[in-house]
Chain A
Amino acid sequence: MEIDEDRSDFEKDEEEDDDSVSDLLRDRFRLSAISIAEYEAAKRNGMEISQPIVACIADLAFKYIGQLAKDLELFAHHAGRKSVTMADVIVSAHRNEHLAASLRSFRDELKAKEPQCERKRKKVPRKDDKAIEGIVHIPDL
């Protein structure tokens, strides 16, 4: 009984630590989301965006990034990898063709910025990269 109580106290402490880390990350994320949201609103003929709306968008984006993390882990695991690659991120956006295309362009820009020595060291594009290019897009019903 005592051992179980100790374990549950330990688990409770761990949970509290986890919650406080999560809160800190959420606050840091909110700051970035606010600056992005205000920038994008200002681009639209100098529009202002009220604080409750920014907070709402930031919270939605934080939930989205949580879901993205879970999806990326599943894709990497499905491919038999422990590390998430750019291919996994692009696959996570496969439901939206324009979004996937934008991400592919960004990926190509990142690859172009890599120094020559890193590019030469990398292997020939793997089969899964080619498979991603040829994904059949089935619209949601």
Chain B
Amino acid sequence: MDKKRRKFKIEEQNQINSAMDDHETPVLEPDLTRDIFKQIWTRKAQEREGIDFHHTDAMDSEVGAGTSKKIRPTFANPNALKLSCELVRFFITEAVQRAATVAEAKGGAKLKQFI
């Protein structure tokens, strides 16, 4: 059972690492999205931890060292990461398609101006 679980985990990881979907369309790598989210969420958690530290520090100054609670940063499950990648891909696709529509209307074959 453990071997099956390990095999599934490796296959899942391989899928995550691939930057192309089943139809060979370029997609955003879930690993990269995870790293970007992690950086933002860790920063937020540290800011909250800093705020809590300053609040408790004033209260605990007579007692001794402040007892700030370590705030764990948020994390995303693998499917949520894949869905987020798809959402960002839609954003980029929409931006390009809108620019292309304007370029075609102006009779151009190259996207030079972005509106």
The residue on B at minimum CB distance from A29 is B32
Main secondary structure of the interface of B (DSSP, over half): helix
CB < 8 Å A-B pair total? 156
Which residues 57-115 in B have Cβ within 8 Å of A in the complex? 72, 74-77, 79-80, 82-84, 86-93, 95-97, 99-100, 103-104, 109-114
Interface size for chain B: under 10, 10 to 19, 20 to 34, or 35 or more residues?
35 or more
Minimum CB–CB distance for B24 against chain A, Å: 9
Known A32-B19, A82-B72; judge A90-B83 contact (CB<8 A). Answer: yes
> In the complex, are the beta carbons of B39 and A48 less than 8 A apart?
no
Minimum Cβ distance to chain B for residue A80 (Å): 12
What does the 1/0 interface line of B19-59 toward A look like (CB < 8 Å)? 10000011111001101110111011000000000000000
With a CB–CB cut-off of 8 A, which chain B residues contact A60? Answer: 91, 95
Task: Bin chain A's interface residue count.
Answer: 35 or more
Does A49 contact B96, Cβ atoms closer than 8 Å? Answer: yes
Contact A21 B39 (CB under 8 A): yes
Give the most central of B39, B77, B82, B87: most A CB within 10 Å.
B87
Show 26 A/B contacts (Cβ-Cβ < 8 Å), sorted by A: A22-B39, A25-B36, A32-B28, A36-B26, A39-B25, A41-B111, A44-B100, A50-B110, A50-B112, A53-B99, A56-B114, A64-B88, A65-B36, A66-B36, A68-B87, A73-B40, A73-B74, A77-B74, A82-B72, A83-B74, A84-B80, A86-B83, A89-B87, A92-B87, A110-B83, A111-B79
6 nearest interchain CB pairs? A84-B76, A69-B40, A49-B111, A35-B26, A40-B96, A89-B83
- Interface residues, chain B, CB within 8 Å of chain A? 8, 19, 25-29, 32-33, 35-37, 39-41, 43-44, 72, 74-77, 79-80, 82-84, 86-93, 95-97, 99-100, 103-104, 109-114
Interface residues of A (CB under 8 A from B): 18, 21-22, 25, 28-29, 32-33, 35-37, 39-41, 44, 47-50, 53, 56-58, 60-61, 64-66, 68-70, 72-73, 76-77, 82-86, 88-90, 92-93, 99, 102-103, 106-107, 110-111, 115, 118
